[in-house]
Structure 1
């Protein structure tokens, strides 16, 4: 077992023992509508934790199992968000740099091109294209050496991408990297072609290390489970510069129109090499060598630098759509920036703990494995999350923090929830879910104009059936009955 994982499991076990005598839940402490919805979902009240407290009040109006350590799923991103906004600042930006390691003769580089990353979570293929376009505009065409990837800002991560749920192709399982490009994902789009009675397949971004073939027939009928009716084979990826063969067959319902499927297929190095070479050659450039890991050598000349969007914008994308990859990149950035050492998850956890201590926040049950909530061992209590929300509301970065969360019924993961209800548009709520977890946390502005911090976490095999209970709690707080 990986040593870092053992470290976090040990903390989780110790935390559970410390918090075992937490305050017992009382069913009658919950609003009747919430308790009824939990019963309908067949979830015992002891498997739910709730906290409701006005942001400027000293005591909660509702605290049910609030001291119990719970897995909050993606709600944990709020801890990462506030720590990053306060420690790095809302205008913080990541830098990606290109260096020439060799002699430049006209449009030829007799040596290596070095790409150094600092963990930019928004280094999309569009931004990489702009970077290479700027490089071509500076007159460089022929790179006679290798593309050297300086990924030393983060320590190497040896975790298997299939370790969480045995779904290594899912983009949410992509591991952090100092040179993460486009979330390391390909987007395959299926386009009906009635004249050929077939579906065409396109891919973005294009890559010199990806070949796509398809033999998909169009089918009649509804667009239900369209992906299950396709067969996809991905062969040839050994992580050593081999071309991946993506072959699609099966039947695709014409009624679907265009649909896309995002897949993570390659190592970070091969993904970057394939996309880089494809873009560079489309611009008329040549890369004679391959890609290899390394660092910027002494004497290398800085050619250009690009910066990411500001952190305040990045956390908005992260929380609105609950992007795990962005969260993990930000979490690791905390230790790289604060400790000035290569980023490691254990170091980032300590950075967060030190920051909480300086805020006077004692969260003894807190366990952070990767800061995204995509974890079986991360823990926090409803009481601690509620306290974090109230501290955040008094923070100078409160506007950026609140604006990063989905607005009920309007956007992000809350866009299709509680539409046409009185609370619509009056609550900023971060959601989280795993197989046995359903959670939310954020702020509700009630009908009397008072703002409340609200936390609701369920850890139970039927957690996915508790959305009605969550909605009932938000409605109860909005109604003004939280006094």
Structure 2
């Protein structure tokens, strides 16, 4: 990285100055044409960028778009905002028996996990319902139907990152498969298990152990999913290096109705309840009786998980919530995008080039310019929500998606940054502090077939800012 450390701050503060020669050289070495790269480095205590290259060019930001979505959500909803999930019954209860259906009505909680769902069902039983004679009705009517029918990206329909939003989303609708090497038998073998086991998901294990370090353990792991009316069968094949400790793969192999029904059935039985019905989608009848309400963690806690681990479906549901709270129910992503843009305009952030498809960056169509992303970060830094937004971003070398980036001093802990990557896209944006305590906004977006090579350039920029050279 020495090429950049010696040259970065030789670029005198002209907003549209040419790239420093050292930075141009680094891009050439990475086979990245200058026209495929947009960079803004902006001191937070000044108005003139140190570097501004292709700043007004609309670029695909990949997951860096989550910064736009979460900042807008903090402004529109407040950090204390909570989602509710309601449980209704549409029949009488006598001696613990509900002679009717149980109804779950979702409002888009992006963080409702299995443990919280267990607590919600425990609350239902504490209201005197132990046996349900009817069915499980899933009310997702606050979302427009097309929200859960969006196409998947990169032909990976089973990967958890491609899960579509659902107003009643349980556990992100994903199954986490745990892989490990067992040495208890004569011949080492690969063990595969579900983290939250559903009996309706069957595992066929054809994997073998190979010698060597863990390294790129995913390179020879293959899977095939066979959906059925009763669940799904997942067949794993390939090899796992013998030196791997536990490794995980998140897949979404059940549809929303199946996942909620099977999870409900398992947890309800664990709590001692009885239920033999089926699940169906529907709308809560006007005369249904409210049994209990579950309230989510506040938004400030939700966006920490969202940004630190770049959770796509959570980001999509947060954007939809902005639309819902603007009175646009049933909401779809087009209406939510308009509500989000209106929130930004109210803070003086009018971005004509901004394209929002789902707010997560999991898109080939989303666009924003580097100068406007930097403007948003500068504005956010001056707003009351700044501590919450900054705390949600991965910390360089310490946690989230940046845990393994520049983990040694002096860079470790000196930046709060969101990364984004798709095939042909590599982006990074956030706040960097130098050793004198001065803070800068850094935005770099690359749209090019060799975009993956941009990481070394990004790391050089970060180190250059931190060390003040």
Q: Same fold per TM (> 0.5)?
A: yes
Q: Is the 8 A contact 1:208 1:278 kept in 2?
A: no
1:134 alignment counterpart = 123
Matched, 1:423 2:411: yes
Aligned to 1:155, which of 144, 147, 153?
144
- Measured in 2, the distance between the counterparts of 1:453 and 1:253 equals 41
- In the aligned structure 2, how far is the partner of 1:398 from the partner of 1:148? 40
Q: CA 1:135 to 1:213, structure 2 compared with 1: closer, same or farther past 3 Å?
A: farther
Shift of 1:262: 1.4
Aligned to 1:445: 433
Q: CA deviation at 1:138?
A: 3.3
What is residue 255 of structure 1 aligned with on the other side?
243
Of residues 452, 461, 468, the one that matches 2:456 is: 468
Q: 1-side partners of 2:311 and 2:374: how far apart?
A: 22
Aligned counterpart, 2:34: 45
- In the alignment, structure 1 residue 203 sits paired with structure 2 residue 194: yes
Q: Write the mapping of 1:335-350 to structure 2, written as runs, cut at 5 A.
A: 335-350=323-338
- Give the C-alpha shift of residue 221 in structure 1: 4.6
1:124 alignment partner in structure 2: 113
Alignment of 1:180-259 (within 5 A): 180-196=169-185, 198-214=189-205, 216=207, 218=209, 220-223=211-214, 226-227=217-218, 229=220, 232-237=223-228, 241-248=229-236, 252-259=240-247
C-alpha separation between the residues in 2 aligned to 1:250 and 1:435? 24
Shift of 1:331: 0.7
Distance 1:432 1:143 in 2: 46
Q: CA RMSD in A?
A: 2.3
- Gap regions ≥5 residues in structure 1: 1-24
Q: Which residue of 2 aligns with 1:63?
A: 52
1:267 and 2:255 aligned: yes
**Greater Cα offset, 404-413 or 385-394:** 404-413
1:408 corresponds, among 396, 420, 437, to: 396
**More displaced stretch, 206-215 vs 313-322:** 206-215
Instruction: Write the mapping of 1:309-320 to structure 2, written as runs, cut at 5 A.
Output: 309-320=297-308
Contact 2:44 2:439 in 1 (8 A): yes
1:75 equivalent in structure 2? 64
Judge which range, 356-365 or 379-388, deviates more.
356-365
Cα distance change on mapping 1:161 and 1:168 into 2, 3 Å: farther
Is 158-167 or 441-450 further displaced after alignment? 158-167
Shift of 1:419: 2.2
Contact 1:207 1:277 in 2 (8 A): no
Provide the rounded CA distance (Å) in 2 between the counterparts of 1:475 and 1:294.
Answer: 54
Greater Cα shift, 465-474 or 447-456: 447-456
> Normalised by the size of structure 1, how large is the TM-score?
0.88
Cα drift, residue 455 of structure 1: 0.9
Q: Decide whether the 8 Å contact of 1:208 with 1:275 is kept in 2.
A: no
Asked if 1:90 is matched to 2:40, the reply is no
Give the drift of 1:195. Answer: 4.1
Q: List runs of 5+ in structure 2 lacking aligned partners.
A: 1-13
